[in-house]
């Protein structure tokens, strides 16, 4: 790490990858102790980007579509999210933060115009956001007000927001909640004129093409209620979008708004007991 921007002195949870203040570590990571995540059977472990690098951690940029670049994490701490670099005419937005700092990827993003803002969708995705913010001149980090309490490190340029906000011209974020009270989605219109929704963990693409799901906890399979799922679907209906990206590399690449509506109806029916006769 030639220019580590604080990564060399950062401590992070080995399980979720979220950065912490090294001289004030809790006995257990609060994010992992919550029912939406987990502490592994071996117990709490702390690590660092430096240690992760020694163990072969790396990042890789891949193109999902023009101006939408995924950042795949290999052998990194955390749960394996795939952050997205969204390239817009007004500047680049980093959706989620990697759990590792990679000099080569930092150089490549710098070549592509840097980062104007960082938007984590919810606390599981905080990663090394303060490190990445410093790496790009103190890029503001947009934290949902309802989830501010989960910050392990407060980035120097933190923007606390609620409701709906314009991150950059043409890039709007809003908070349907669900997975976390402040869970947010980001909407953008691509150069081909199609709307694109970056849904974080609020709406998760599934293996069956054209369908999505909604969960309080993905690793622990804790569902949401029918009312909350309908609320999420109604919330995102304010946007026109044909494509949807989750935060683990999954996507719905056509009629994504229809997929959300269909999936919400199916989910709500199942958790409401409509199909109990089939069980």
pLDDT tens digit sequence for 213-234? 999 999 999 999 999 999 999 9
Give 14's contacts (C-beta < 8 A, 6+ positions apart).
45, 46, 47, 77
Under 8 Å between Cβ of 219 and 177 = no
Q: If DSSP states are collapsed to H, E and C, what string results for 42-92?
A: CCCCEECHHHHHHCCCEEEEEEEECCEEEEEEECCCCCCCCCEEEEECCEE
C-alpha–C-alpha distance, residues 147 and 180, integer Å: 7
**Confidence class of residue 201 from pLDDT cuts 50, 70 and 90?**
very high
Each domain of the chain, given as residue ranges in start order, spans 7-273
C-alpha–C-alpha distance, residues 184 and 182, integer Å: 6
- Tell me, what DSSP letter sits at residue 267? H
CATH superfamily to which 7-273 belongs: Ribonuclease Z/Hydroxyacylglutathione hydrolase-like (3.60.15.10)
Q: How many helices (H) and strands (E) does the chain have?
A: 6, 20
How many other C-beta atoms lie within 10 A of the C-beta of residue 180? 23
What per-residue confidence (pLDDT) applies to 2?
Answer: 60
What's CA 167's distance to the chain center, in Å?
A: 15
* Average per-residue pLDDT for the chain: 97
Q: How large is the angle between the packed helices 256-271 and 226-236, nearest 10 degrees?
A: 170
C-alpha–C-alpha distance, residues 128 and 99, integer Å: 5
Residue from 58, 52, 179 nearest 123 by CA? 179
Task: Name the strand (E) or helix (H) holding 266.
Answer: helix 256-271
pLDDT of residue 57 exceeding 70: yes
C-alpha–C-alpha distance, residues 227 and 274, integer Å: 14
C-alpha–C-alpha distance, residues 23 and 79, integer Å: 24
What per-residue confidence (pLDDT) applies to 21?
Answer: 85
Please say whether the dihedral angle defined by the alpha carbons of residues 139, 119, 50 and 55, taken in this order, is positive or negative: negative
What per-residue confidence (pLDDT) applies to 4?
Answer: 73
Q: What is the pTM of this model?
A: 0.97
Under 8 Å between Cβ of 36 and 20 = no
Under 8 Å between Cβ of 11 and 22 = yes
Under 8 Å between Cβ of 212 and 218 = no
Under 8 Å between Cβ of 63 and 50 = no
Average pLDDT over residues 83-97: 98
Average pLDDT over residues 185-206: 98
Q: pLDDT digit string (tens) for 24-51?
A: 899 999 999 999 999 999 999 999 999 9
* SS3 assignment, position 104: helix
């Amino acid at each position: 790490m030639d220019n580590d921007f604080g990564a060399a002195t950062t401590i992070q949870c080995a399980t979720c990858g979220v950065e912490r203040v090294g001289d004030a570590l809790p006995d257990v990571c609060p994010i992992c102790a919550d029912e939406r995540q987990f502490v592994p059977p071996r117990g709490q472990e702390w690590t660092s980007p430096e240690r992760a690098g020694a163990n072969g951690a790396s990042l890789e940029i891949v193109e999902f579509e023009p101006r939408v670049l995924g950042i795949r994490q290999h052998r990194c701490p955390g749960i394996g999210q795939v952050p997205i670099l969204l390239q817009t005419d007004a500047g680049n937005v980093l959706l989620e933060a990697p759990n590792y700092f990679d000099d080569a990827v930092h150089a490549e993003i710098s070549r592509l115009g840097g980062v104007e803002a960082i938007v984590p969708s919810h606390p599981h995705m905080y990663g090394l956001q303060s490190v990445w913010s410093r790496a790009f001149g103190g890029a503001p980090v947009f934290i949902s007000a309802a989830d501010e309490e989960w910050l392990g490190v407060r980035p120097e340029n933190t923007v606390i927001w609620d409701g709906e906000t314009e991150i950059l011209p043409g890039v709007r974020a809003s908070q349907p909640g669900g997975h976390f009270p402040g869970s947010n989605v980001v909407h953008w219109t691509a150069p081909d004129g199609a709307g694109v929704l970056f849904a974080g963990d609020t709406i998760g693409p599934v293996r069956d093409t054209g369908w999505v799901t909604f969960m309080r906890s993905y690793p622990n399979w804790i569902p949401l209620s029918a009312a909350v799922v309908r609320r999420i679907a109604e919330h995102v209906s304010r946007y026109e979008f044909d494509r949807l990206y989750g935060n683990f590399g999954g996507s719905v690449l056509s009629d994504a708004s229809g997929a959300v509506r269909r999936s919400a109806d199916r989910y709500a029916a199942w958790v409401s007991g409509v199909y109990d006769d089939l069980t």
